[in-house]
């Protein structure tokens, strides 16, 4: 559970670490799909303090009142559906029969024009990660449920999908969180429409937002914060022109390298980026020089300006080498009239 009482976005690389770009963080990339939930770090706001509820808008000119609001003709909800896969944080099994398993889950999010958001999750069960892991699992008796890890830690894992769950996104006091979650702010649809649609203007807006006293962003993490928020906008912004500005701004940010045309795990072609998501870099003194390092391979559909897939590789402490990768694949994204429901099996 997060600080607002909401269920976190599912299991991940460090017993909760994942990327999800739909911020189920993801994403990310995850984010999302986008959060390192195990250590309370948002990959979309690397190095910043995650904000749990609606925050005041920074003193920036959005000119929403002067702009006509255009309701989308495509549907009633901005909807994302993401399939996530990552390695469980500890080996399972007994004695010499130890093995790694992969977890899979599907996450969905529906945000209505009035800002109410519903989230759905469904764990799809675990399976041995590799052929060698499967052989060790069979020697271990081919269990389908686990209550302990190989080193004796408590676990609650199953090879079968669960029934899933659906809930309205609530704040700390039980009231619905209202708005589109963009740049650590809960923006109305009108405000989302008024975001800058040019790359330089959007970067400047995010930079100014990061200087708000409530953002928790320091000078040495500001660059990674802007980079992460641009990635998040690709899945979270309900306005294509804003997403296009984020896409065009990405390769102008240090730590982002264009890969050209690449294929995602489902064979879809998009524009690839390799993104540095390092967090916790300091310089001397009592600061830790390296807490967590991560690189994200992001693939974007340039027709819709939305993510196709994201693969995040983690390194450094405390991430074990065997659990260093998670993958998030966008199954659906866009406007829909389909009402919120418990996620179906993919």
Where do the domains of the chain lie? 35-336
Q: pLDDT tens digit string along 241-275?
A: 999 999 999 999 999 999 999 999 999 999 999 99
Of 133, 52, 43, 125, the C-alpha closest to 93 is: 133
Whether residue 231 is predicted with pLDDT greater than 90 in this model: the reply is yes
Instruction: With 0.75 as the threshold, say if the pTM is over it.
Output: yes
**What does DSSP say about strands 180-182 and 185-187: parallel, antiparallel, or unpaired?**
antiparallel
Tell which wins on pLDDT, 59 or 159.
Answer: 159
Q: pLDDT tens digit string along 192-220?
A: 999 999 999 999 999 999 998 888 888 88
- Judged by average pLDDT, the poorest of 14-23, 26-35, 95-104, 150-159 is 26-35
- What pLDDT sits at residue 317? 54
Mean pLDDT score of the chain, rounded to an integer? 79
Q: For the residues 30-56, what does the mean pLDDT come to?
A: 31
- What pLDDT sits at residue 277? 79
- What pLDDT sits at residue 137? 98
Q: For the residues 149-163, what does the mean pLDDT come to?
A: 96
């Amino acid at each position: 559970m997060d600080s607002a009482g909401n269920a976190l976005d599912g299991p991940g690389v460090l017993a909760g670490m994942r990327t999800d770009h739909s911020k189920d963080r993801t994403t990310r990339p995850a984010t999302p799909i986008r959060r390192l939930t195990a250590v309370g770090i948002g990959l979309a706001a690397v190095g910043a303090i995650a904000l749990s509820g609606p925050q005041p808008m920074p003193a920036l000119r959005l000119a929403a009142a002067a702009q006509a609001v255009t309701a989308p003709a495509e549907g009633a909800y901005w909807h994302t559906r993401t399939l996530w896969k990552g390695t469980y944080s500890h080996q399972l099994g007994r004695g010499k029969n130890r093995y790694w398993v992969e977890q899979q889950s599907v996450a969905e999010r529906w945000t209505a024009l009035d800002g109410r958001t519903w989230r759905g999750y469904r764990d799809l069960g675990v399976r041995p990660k590799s052929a060698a892991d499967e052989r060790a699992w069979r020697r271990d008796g081919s269990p389908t449920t686990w209550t302990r890890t190989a080193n004796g830690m408590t676990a609650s894992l199953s090879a079968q999908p669960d029934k899933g769950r659906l809930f309205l996104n609530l704040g700390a006091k039980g009231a619905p969180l209202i708005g589109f979650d963009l740049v650590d702010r809960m923006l109305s649809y009108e405000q989302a429409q008024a975001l800058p649609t040019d790359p330089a203007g959007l970067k400047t807006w995010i930079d100014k937002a990061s200087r708000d006293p409530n953002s928790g962003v320091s000078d040495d993490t500001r660059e990674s914060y802007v980079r992460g928020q641009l990635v998040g906008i690709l899945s979270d912004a309900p306005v294509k022109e804003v997403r296009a500005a984020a896409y065009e701004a990405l390769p102008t940010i240090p730590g982002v390298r264009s890969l050209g045309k690449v294929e995602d795990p489902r064979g879809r072609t998009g524009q690839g980026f390799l993104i540095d998501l390092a967090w916790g870099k300091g310089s001397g003194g009592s600061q830790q020089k390296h807490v967590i390092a991560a690189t994200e391979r992001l693939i974007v559909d340039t027709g819709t300006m939305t993510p196709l897939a994201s693969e995040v590789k983690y390194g450094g402490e405390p991430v074990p080498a065997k659990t260093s990768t998670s993958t998030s694949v966008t199954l659906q994204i866009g406007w829909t009239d389909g009402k919120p429901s418990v996620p179906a099996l993919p």
